[in-house]
Amino acid sequence: MTVSSDPALAASWSRATAAAGANRRRRNLQVYHHAVLIFGVALMMAPLLVAFASSTYDPIVIHSEGLQLGYGGEFASTYGAVLFDRGGFTGDITGVRMLWNSVILGLGFAVGKIVISMLAAYAIVYFRFPFGTVAFWIIFSTLLLPLEVRILPSYEVVQSMGMLNSWTGLILPLIASATATFYFRQFFKSVPDELLEAARIDGAGPVRFFLDILVPLSKTMMAAIFIIMFVVGWNQYLWPALMTTDESLFTIVRGIRQILQVWIGANIPEYNKALAMAILAMVPPALIVLIFQRAFVKGLVETEK
Amino acid sequence: MKKALFGPSLTPYLLLAPQMAIVAIFFLWPSAEAVRSSFHIEDPFFGTATFVGTDNYVDAVTSSTYGRAARFTALFTVVVSVVSLGIALALAVSADAVLRGRATYKTTLMWVYAIAPPVAGLIGSMLFDQHIGPLKEFAALFGWDMRVGFDYADTAIAMMTVAAWKQIPVNFIFFLSGLQGIPNALKEAASIDCRSPVRRFWTVVFPLLAPTSFFLLIINITYALFETFGVVDVMLKGEPGNNPVTLVYKVFLDGFRGQDLGGSSAQSVILMVAVFLLTVIQFRLIERRVHYA
């Protein structure tokens, strides 16, 4: 008996080969997808691996043989030096201090932005008052111009107020953009009206309603915004570079700029220390993104809308 | 609009006060100042300002360095956006389709978002370094003598590479969330109607991603124009010399190094107009996106 002699068998045979073909195609497609992703992972990670590996080598080795992929054995001494040695022109700024300053900037920026924008969004959404619409449009206008395009006049304003080299002068101008206000405004608008009606029947005033109902409802939103804003604040570069000439206020990202100055003059630049500093500058925000991944993705996708 | 509202009282003014104060002092005032000084020439020694009409604008736009920076910025923006969006889209499509290890791939590909542009610039400038850079050696294999920091085109390529690399995670996250928003029923229907996964992608999936793509394009243009400052500054090691600079970097150079307040302000105002137009387009797109979402 041959396969082709029985029509029913032949049909099931061709169905089977078709299914096998589809399976094979699906498998090949999966192989393709994995290949693309592995290429992507290599593309994103390789530079960072090279940076980390090289930071553990002696600068003389790097200078003569190029960047390294391996372990150079100098991890503890290099990172110890970057973290604890006093450096800079004044001779008293350490890596730990710069990291701490970055934490202050990140926290100050994120918390300041959340508090100020929640209050403003609450006023705009929940109150009927003549100035409301005007206020909304004024705040709206800040979305149009990033700090970079008005950097020089902003510097002059801060200078004329005597706020150079101060945390206030560093953080407040960065908060001036109203992205978070818009985000909370959208969110508050989606909160059901019944909640406010119920709260009013129970005799709650604006303050009680905000603190006891709106803030607890906003918790996930606040977390998401906080993570994005912390990373954005931590990564600020241009404004701190202009604003802070006093080294005790240097953040770690601002410190990167200082490294370059040393780099240009040196015979054998301290590649290892520069890379160690780069690694130290990226680890805290990276950890935050990794640990709070869900809130991070939510925050990013929602706030950028 | 909310039906239930609190009536007029002092409370909303108090709630708005902090935000309005910050906006007025650190946004409105400097912006107005930029516009004002763009029509003046200031004397740095005597602190006097002379009204010169649109001279600063004319000088800025007609100068050859401005033209060069503007052309470079345009090319930089297009290359960075296209390269970064293209790679991110390919990665997102695969991350959406892959059956195993999706979460691991996703995490690994997105955390680079956390790296500051100047940090990326520092690592990039080492990778392209004359003496120690593996990418320079790699280019040398093909007989390409890359001289980043000395050769205009080579420096431009290195800066574009780093800037595009840094932006891949953001684009990846948005594309992936866009892909995951496409209903499964739609994907299954498409896979019955069309066997070729490539055709399916271009005829079904890609059009559905169009709103995400347009929106990302705006985000990428804004990124390439402004947020790459750190990449440019670090890769030029603060010494631009004859190397390519973006327009935002030039505003900074002319204002802070060149002490040309008027010229720098005029360039600021030109950029403000550009951003304003971009933002208007962006809001239009979002309005449209809301309608069919």
Domain-ending residue, one of A55, A71, A97: A55
Helices (H), chain A: 7-55, 59-65, 75-84, 95-126, 132-141, 151-160, 167-175, 179-190, 193-201, 206-209, 215-217, 219-234, 238-243, 252-265, 271-291, 293-303
Neighbours of A257 (CB within 10 A): 20
Q: Which chain B residues touch A152 with a CB distance below 8 Å?
A: 34, 251-252, 255-256, 261, 264-265, 268
Q: Are residues A161 and A289 in the same domain?
A: yes
Q: Are residues A284 and A156 in the same domain?
A: yes
Q: Judge whether A74 lies within some domain.
A: no
Residue B167 banded pLDDT, cuts 50, 70, 90: very high
Mean pLDDT calculated for residue range B22-30: 92
Contact: A282, B113; criterion CB under 8 Å: no
Contact: A116, B22; criterion CB under 8 Å: yes
Report yes or no: A58 at the B interface, CB cutoff 8 Å: no
The Cα of A142 is separated from the nearest Cα of chain B by a number of Å equal to: 7
Q: Kindly report the average pLDDT of chain B as a whole number.
A: 88
Q: Are residues A156 and A286 in the same domain?
A: yes
Interface mutation vs chain A, best among B9, B14, B84, B115, most A CBs within 10 Å: B115
Angle, vertex CA A103, rays to CA A98 and CA A105, nearest 5: 90
Q: Are residues A226 and A102 in the same domain?
A: yes
3-class DSSP state for residue B162? helix
* Bridge partner residues of A93 (DSSP): A87
Q: Which chain A residues touch B233 with a CB distance below 8 Å?
A: 237-238, 241, 257
Q: Are residues A22 and A165 in the same domain?
A: no
Residue A292 banded pLDDT, cuts 50, 70, 90: very high
Q: Is the pLDDT of residue B214 over 80?
A: yes
Residue among B20, B112, B272 whose CB faces A149 most closely: B272
The Cα of A270 is separated from the nearest Cα of chain B by a number of Å equal to: 12
Residue among A144, A282, A288 whose CB faces B119 most closely: A282
Report yes or no: B137 at the A interface, CB cutoff 8 Å: yes
Q: Are residues A94 and A216 in the same domain?
A: yes
Report yes or no: A134 at the B interface, CB cutoff 8 Å: no
Domain-ending residue, one of A33, A55, A77: A55
Distance from CA of residue B248 to its chain's centroid?
Answer: 11
Q: Which chain A residues touch B73 with a CB distance below 8 Å?
A: none
Residue with tokens 């630049």: A269
Number of domains comprising chain A: 2
The Cα of B102 is separated from the nearest Cα of chain A by a number of Å equal to: 9
Residue A268 banded pLDDT, cuts 50, 70, 90: confident
User: Which residues fall within 8 angstroms of residue B113, CB to CB, at 6 or more apart?
Assistant: A231, A289, A300, B169, B170, B173
Q: Judge whether A33 lies within some domain.
A: yes
Burial-class residue B125 by CB neighbours within 10 Å (0-12, 13-18, 19+).
buried
Nearest residue to B285 (alpha-carbon basis) of B230, B235, B218: B218
pLDDT > 90: what percent of chain A? 46
Q: Are residues A181 and A293 in the same domain?
A: yes
The Cα of A5 is separated from the nearest Cα of chain B by a number of Å equal to: 30
Domains contained in chain B, CATH given: 55-292 (1.10.3720.10)
Q: Which chain A residues touch B219 with a CB distance below 8 Å?
A: 304
Nearest residue to A231 (alpha-carbon basis) of A282, A298, A170: A282
Phi, psi of B242 (to 5 degrees): -100, 10
Q: By residue range, what is the domain housing residue A47?
A: 3-55
Nearest residue to A44 (alpha-carbon basis) of A282, A298, A301: A282
Report yes or no: A232 at the B interface, CB cutoff 8 Å: no
The Cα of B7 is separated from the nearest Cα of chain A by a number of Å equal to: 6
Q: Which chain A residues touch B229 with a CB distance below 8 Å?
A: 148, 237-238
The Cα of B241 is separated from the nearest Cα of chain A by a number of Å equal to: 14
Q: Which chain B residues touch A36 with a CB distance below 8 Å?
A: 90-91, 93-94
Q: Are residues A49 and A91 in the same domain?
A: no
Residue A157 confidence (pLDDT): 92
Q: Judge whether A65 lies within some domain.
A: no
Q: Report long-range pairs for B46-49 (Cβ below 8 Å, ≥24 apart).
A: none
Round to whole Å and give the CA distance between B22 and A172: 7
Q: Is the pLDDT of residue B290 over 60?
A: no
Residue A302 confidence (pLDDT): 73
Q: Are residues A156 and A283 in the same domain?
A: yes
Q: Kindly report the average pLDDT of chain A as a whole number.
A: 87
Please report, to the nearest 10 degrees, the dihedral formed by the alpha carbons of residues B81, B86, B89, B90 taken in order: -160
Round to whole Å and give the CA distance between A121 and A185: 5
The total number of residues written for chain A in this structure:
305
DSSP state of A212: I
Domain of residue A160, CATH code: 1.10.3720.10
Tell me the C-alpha to C-alpha distance, in Å, between residue A207 and each of A75, A203, A215, A216, B199.
53, 11, 11, 13, 57
Residue among A132, A143, A286 whose CB faces B114 most closely: A286
- Please indicate whether residue B85 or residue A4 has the higher confidence score (pLDDT): B85
Round to whole Å and give the CA distance between A190 and B117: 35
Round to whole Å and give the CA distance between A245 and A257: 12
Round to whole Å and give the CA distance between A173 and A161: 12
Phi, psi of B40 (to 5 degrees): -125, 160
Nearest residue to B232 (alpha-carbon basis) of B215, B242, B244: B244
Report yes or no: A182 at the B interface, CB cutoff 8 Å: no
Q: By CA distance, what is B175's nearest residue in A?
A: A301
Contact: B19, A253; criterion CB under 8 Å: no
pTM score? 0.89
Round to whole Å and give the CA distance between B175 and A222: 24
Q: Are residues A94 and A44 in the same domain?
A: no
Please identify among residues 55-94 of chain B the ones whose CB lies closer than 8 Å to any CB of chain A: 87, 90-91, 93-94
The Cα of A98 is separated from the nearest Cα of chain B by a number of Å equal to: 15
Q: Judge whether A143 lies within some domain.
A: yes
Q: Are residues A50 and A91 in the same domain?
A: no
Axis crossing angle, helix A95-126 with helix A75-84, rounded to the nearest 10: 60
Report yes or no: B133 at the A interface, CB cutoff 8 Å: yes
Residue B286 confidence (pLDDT): 64
Q: Judge whether A123 lies within some domain.
A: yes
Phi, psi of A109 (to 5 degrees): -65, -50
Residue B291 confidence (pLDDT): 42
Residue A2 confidence (pLDDT): 47
Contact: B20, A48; criterion CB under 8 Å: no
Burial-class residue A17 by CB neighbours within 10 Å (0-12, 13-18, 19+).
exposed
Give residue-wise pLDDT tens across range A225-263: 999 999 999 999 999 998 898 888 999 999 888 777 666
| Per-position DSSP letters for B206-247, written without gaps between them | HHHHHHHHHHHHHHHHHIIIIITHHHHHHHTTT--TTS---H
Q: Are residues A165 and A262 in the same domain?
A: yes
Interface mutation vs chain A, best among B106, B123, B237, most A CBs within 10 Å: B123
Please identify among residues 104-133 of chain A the ones whose CB lies closer than 8 Å to any CB of chain B: 115-117, 119-120, 122-132
Q: Judge whether A63 lies within some domain.
A: no
Residue among A128, A146, A242 whose CB faces B275 most closely: A146
Domain-ending residue, one of A32, A55, A78: A55
Residue B14 banded pLDDT, cuts 50, 70, 90: very high
The Cα of A8 is separated from the nearest Cα of chain B by a number of Å equal to: 25
Q: Which chain B residues touch A253 with a CB distance below 8 Å?
A: 116, 118-119, 230
Residue A45 confidence (pLDDT): 95
Round to whole Å and give the CA distance between A241 and A254: 6
Phi, psi of B66 (to 5 degrees): -65, -45
Q: Which two tokens stand for residue A259?
A: 């490294």
Burial-class residue A83 by CB neighbours within 10 Å (0-12, 13-18, 19+).
middle
Q: Judge whether A75 lies within some domain.
A: no
Round to whole Å and give the CA distance between A237 and B229: 8
Residue B292 banded pLDDT, cuts 50, 70, 90: very low
Residue A152 banded pLDDT, cuts 50, 70, 90: confident
Q: Judge whether A20 lies within some domain.
A: yes
